[in-house]
Structure 1
Amino acid sequence: MPNQQFLSNNVPPLVSTDAGIVAGEWEDGIATFKGIPFAAPPVGELRWRAPQPAEKWQGVKDARLFGQSSWQSREYCTAVGGGDPGVFSEDCLYLNVWTTLPSSEQKKPVMVWIHGGGYTIGSGGLSPYIGAPLASRGVVLVTLNYRLGHLGFFAHPALDAEYPAGEVVNNFALLDQIAALKWVQDNIAAFGGDPDNVTIFGESSGARSVLSLFASPLAEGLFQKGIAQSAYTLPDTSRRQALGRGESLAQHFGLAHATAEQLRELPADSFWSLDKNLSIAPVPIAGDSVLPTPMMDIFRTGKQRPLPLIIGSNSDEASVLSYFDIDVASVVKRVRKQHPLGLRLIKWLYSGVKDDGELGRQISRDMAFTTMGYVAMLAQHKAGAPGWRYYFDYVSENARTLCPNGTWHGSEIPYVMNNMHLIESSQVIEGGYTPQDKAFAEVVSEYWLNFARHAVGQSTHIEGDIHWPVWKPRGDKTLRFGHHGQVGLKVEQRFMRLRLRLFRLLMTKLVKLD
């Protein structure tokens, strides 16, 4: 049975996990454990296989350094993914834990963060995800790494042939996340956490992971609630598409008739730098044993796991689209060509917006991001599970000139994590965060913490500075964090309702990467 030994701040905190003892360190009174292996290295014969249990070790494992990150573009991650992801390796399945001194009182809520980055960049050890501030307020915070790019999502006939019918695995990254959640179930009590009160939360592709885990039959019983920040409506890749891409990739490496052995012999660092036409889409693959049905189809029919869910997005999500080479003005041109009557209706819904660029920016934001929150709330209602929807529209005081259109994609993370003072200087806007920013972060993060502490299937609201009521179709209430960049909290009724009803019908035809 795992147990812990927290003696004093002068002695490293020791915890006995099911694989062996780990020694962390104290950081401002928080016991911090980094680089704990939650699965065996997925290398050699284990590449493109389900994660296997971590090997047990003798003695005490040093847990003071973050584990290696999956292969990726350092330049891209440093610029837009949260900082320098450190050392790269195919051996990347590590997690990190922040916790306070345990007590004889009840176990603490657990919050497991799944990082974003389009499934191609990122790491659980990046400074925007440091969990000490939330841990200091009474939760156990876990972050994790998972396989990225083609190492995390891949299909090829030679690999699929290794599985019995109906058991094929293509979503290795999602299985890594599931393996980390199984580790939490087996070990988190030793860190003071409650395995029966686990909240999974993430942003962008991390939010897509949260929703995919709500839809996956393999994640049953591993968490009790979820938070999806800026999940997007882009459809999952079909297995047919994934198999075609896998064969194209093999041909690129001169393996027109590739065997599984030949594919596993390809260098681990050869995948992330491929041209765009050979790269993966920023979504999972639908049709394998991990995600048998597309996530969007699961939510449209209300068949997702019926657990409490917070979901929302930011006021300038279109800020991320340039990184996918999407011209927002071209969105208007596409709608004008394909749905001329629909464009007339859309222009009416965005009265006062004349410029195609600005109209395209707002349409892109709402169709690709805001609509996901509305779809998920309808799904929660169908499933008989509580849901809460938010819209983040506060811009840090020193970023308002840089961000005239609202809150950028990912800019809510320092407010949720309440860790502005710990983020690498290279990731902080000129002038830094102000006292008002930091005070607002306390307000925002308290809602996330109260959800983790108290939300259950019968919850009617989340406590905070103002009452955040559960979403119901008639009232369609959304909590707005900020207003046109300024500080504030307000519960909006029927927020963007007409737009989102329309986009729920149009998104399957118009939300694309090309």
Structure 2
Amino acid sequence: MKNESLRINTAEGALRGAIDEGIFVFKGIPYAAPPVGALRWRAPRPAAPWSEVRDATQWGNASWQLREHCVLAGGGDPGNISEDCLYLNVWSPDIEPSSPLPVMVWIHGGGFVLGAGSLPPYNGKALAARGVVVVTLNYRLGHLGFFAHPALDAEFPPGEAVNNFALLDQIAALQWVQRNIASFGGDRRNVTLFGESSGGRSVLSLFASPLAAGLFHKGIVQSAYSLPDKKRDEALSNGVAVAHHLGLKKASADDLRALPAEHFCSLPSQLGNGPVAIAGDRVLPKPVVEVFAAARQHRYPLMIGYNSDEGSVLDYFGIDPATTITRLRQRRPLLLKLIKSLYDEHDDRRLGRKVARDIAFGTITWLAVQAQHRRGVPGWRYYFDYVSENTRDLCPDGSWHGNEIPYVMETMTAENPQIAEREYSAGDRAFARRISEYWLRFAQDATEFSHQLNGETTWPAWHPGADVTLRFGVKGEAAVVLQHRFMRMRLRLLRLLMRAMVKLH
């Protein structure tokens, strides 16, 4: 494949990118200053301008993480790992279009501890070839991205503390898009955020953050989870415990910033900060679930859904879903009887997997579309239940967590270590084309006044009366069909029971 070079000007300086099969590609663009040294655990600062043409043909560094975990579960090898990680990538089909193109900004998942915008499943070339500008980004992960400690809080005026540095990175990347995306042919007035897992949770967090207002215009949330955000007092206690574990009994801010970044990747699990943000700082004043429950999110269109076997994540964490059912049987037999009445399932493993899926991933979709309706802006709910033709024996319970990504982004050639040597078929690729069309239509057409998304099946926005869900796949087979009141009673009940169930689990 022959790559031709290309020069483009941004607010910070000129870039030299490449042309890959007709798509303009720019990699490793700094969107903020390196958050290193004195800038660790501070809001991202502007990137220093440059005078010479900067090479933008190599990926930027990924945030500190455990490489082997990312290879196994995060989508591939993240490449160079460094605390200097605030870089983004752009794919554009036309840098001088007759009218500006829709922009789609991808926020990668990985539990806020793994991942990078450069991973093969997130390559933006295929979507860009269909008429959008795609941006992927890296942001601070783990304790570098989410951290609270009294010594750091003391640097802020009262009530102004920042703990969600990763969310501020994402906001800084959106500010870069507003400054520069026109140079790549993009429309800064039509920016869609989309992401999966913790990336989807990030989209919901930005819907809830006052600091993100006006920087994007709509969001797509894939397989976000319903877990509560960490409370700030808990995060502060965790930060003190982390410092003690690393030998700092009375840590100053300078002491904390002098710790090697890699030390934060090898902490015991009880000192982890979980796959959620910290509620109560200036970036996220209220928990995401609370904001949506009160319908106080930004008034932007939202598309949200989850997969038929989200319970697959339990395998990664070594959790036996049958154990949860056993505990319910022992401690809450009447509750178990009520839950079983909603599921035509008598095997404890399968029942536990489905309950985990619906309570951890389904309830947030139900809450979000209700909140959109109450806010007076459209929301669309989907359910992904397609399994690639050559992996149906591996996936008897449905589509795994994250399995929709290569269909959405049409990255069917990307390697997935979990299904090595199970190539995607022509049928899989054809179905991917049908699915990604809805993501593109949303990015191109959805506004706060939309009542439907057009496509092979017209998809009405959700409202309580019709309660329509669009199914991508049915029992693993290719289909795009509307379903009314899909899992309605089940999700209503589980939403009410969510706190008790999460505590029990």
TM-score interval, smaller chain:
over 0.9
Contiguous gaps of at least 5 residues in structure 2: none
- The answer to whether residue 234 in structure 2 is matched with residue 241 in structure 1 is yes
Shift of the alpha carbon at 1:104? 4.7
In structure 1, list runs of 5 or more residues that go unmatched: 1-8
User: Is this contact kept in 1: 2:97–2:185, CA < 8 A?
Assistant: no
For the Cα contact (< 8 Å) 1:38–1:93, is it kept in 2? yes
Counterpart of 2:84 (choices 77, 80, 91) is: 91
Which residue matches 2:364?
372
Counterpart check, 1:472 vs 2:463:
yes
SS at match of 1:141: strand
Matched residue type, 1:446: E
- Which has the higher mean CA deviation after the structures are superposed, 326-335 or 412-421? 326-335
Q: Deviations over 1:431-483 (max 9, x none)?
A: 31000000000000000000000000111111111111110111110000001
Aligned to 1:343: 336
1:484 aligns with 2:472: no
- Letter aligned with residue 449 of structure 1: L
1: CA distance between counterparts of 2:100 and 2:141?
Answer: 33
- Give secondary structure in 2 for the equivalent of 1:317: coil
Q: Give the Cα–Cα distance (whole angstroms) in 2 for the partners of residues 427 and 370 of structure 1.
A: 24
1:70-469 aligned within 5 A = 70-351=63-344, 353-421=345-413, 423-424=414-415, 426=417, 429-469=420-460
Give the distance between the partners of 2:326 and 2:105, measured in 1 at CA: 41
Distance 2:90 2:3 in 1: 19
CA distance in 1, matches of 2:3, 2:235: 52
Q: TM-score, normalised by structure 2?
A: 0.98
Contact 1:307 1:385 in 2 (8 A): yes
Q: How many residues align?
A: 504
- SS class of match (1:97): strand
CA distance in 2 between counterparts of 1:513 and 1:336 reads 12
Which of residues 491, 503, 509 is equivalent to 2:494?
Answer: 503
Shift of 1:425: 6.6
The structural deviation recorded for 1:246 is 0.3
Q: CA deviation at 1:358?
A: 1.1
- Structure 1 residues 437 and 77, CA, compared in 2 at 3 Å: closer, same or farther? same
CA-atom RMSD, angstroms?
A: 1.3
Shift of 1:279: 1.4
Q: Distance in 2 between matches of 1:433 and 1:122?
A: 23
- Tell me if the contact between 2:27 and 2:58 (Cα under 8 Å) persists in the aligned partners: yes
SS of match in other structure, 1:363: helix
Letter in 2 for 1:33: F
Offset at residue 102 of structure 1 (A) = 2.9
How far apart are the structure 2 equivalents of 1:139 and 1:297?
33
Q: Tell me, what secondary structure is at the counterpart of 1:183?
A: helix
Alpha-carbon distance between aligned partners in 1 of 2:31 and 2:3, rounded to the nearest angstrom: 27
Q: Match for 1:25 among 11, 14, 18? A: 18
Q: Give matches, 1:8-47, under 5 Å.
A: 11-47=4-40
205 and 72 in structure 1: CA distance in 2 versus 1, 3 angstrom threshold: same
Structure 1 pair 129–104 and aligned structure 2 pair: CA distance change class (3 A): closer
Residue 512 of structure 1: CA displacement?
5.3
**Aligned in 2, Cα 1:11/1:411: closer, same or farther, shift over 3 Å?**
closer
SS in 2 for 1:71: coil
8 Å CA contact 1:82–1:427 kept in 2: the answer is no
Deviations 1:218-262 (A, max 9, x none): 001000000000010010000011011100000001111100000
1:65 aligns with 2:58: yes
| Cα deviation code 1:252-276 (max 9, x no counterpart) | 0111110000000000111012111
In the alignment, the residues of structure 2 paired with residue 427 and residue 183 of structure 1 have an alpha-carbon distance, to the nearest angstrom, of 35
What's the CA shift for 1:513? Answer: 9.5
What SS does structure 1 have at the residue aligned with 2:341?
helix
Moved more, 425-434 or 249-258: 425-434
Q: Which moved more, 1:459-468 or 1:136-145?
A: 459-468
Residues 348 and 428 of structure 1: CA distance in aligned 2, closer, same or farther (over 3 Å): closer
1:509: how far off? 2.3
Letter in 1 for 2:230: T
CA deviation digits over 1:145-169, x for unaligned, max 9? 0000000000000000000011100
1:372 is matched by which residue type in structure 2? I
Identity score, percent? 59
Cα displacement (A) at 1:338: 4.5
TM-superposed CA distance for 1:55, in Å, is: 0.6
Q: Quote the Cα distance in structure 2 between the aligned partners of 1:152 and 1:10.
A: 35
More displaced stretch, 330-339 vs 449-458 = 330-339
CA contact (8 A) 1:326 1:513 kept: no
Q: Counterpart of 2:32 in 1: which secondary structure? A: coil
Partner SS, residue 390 of structure 1: strand
The separation in 2 between residues aligned to 1:311 and 1:237, in whole angstroms, is 22
Query: Is the 2:3–2:20 contact (alpha carbons within 8 Å) kept by the matching residues of 1?
Result: no
1 CA distance for matches of 2:72 and 2:302? 30
Whether the 8 Å contact between 2:4 and 2:20 is mirrored in structure 1 is: no
Q: Equivalents in 1 of 2:428, 2:65: separation in Å? A: 32
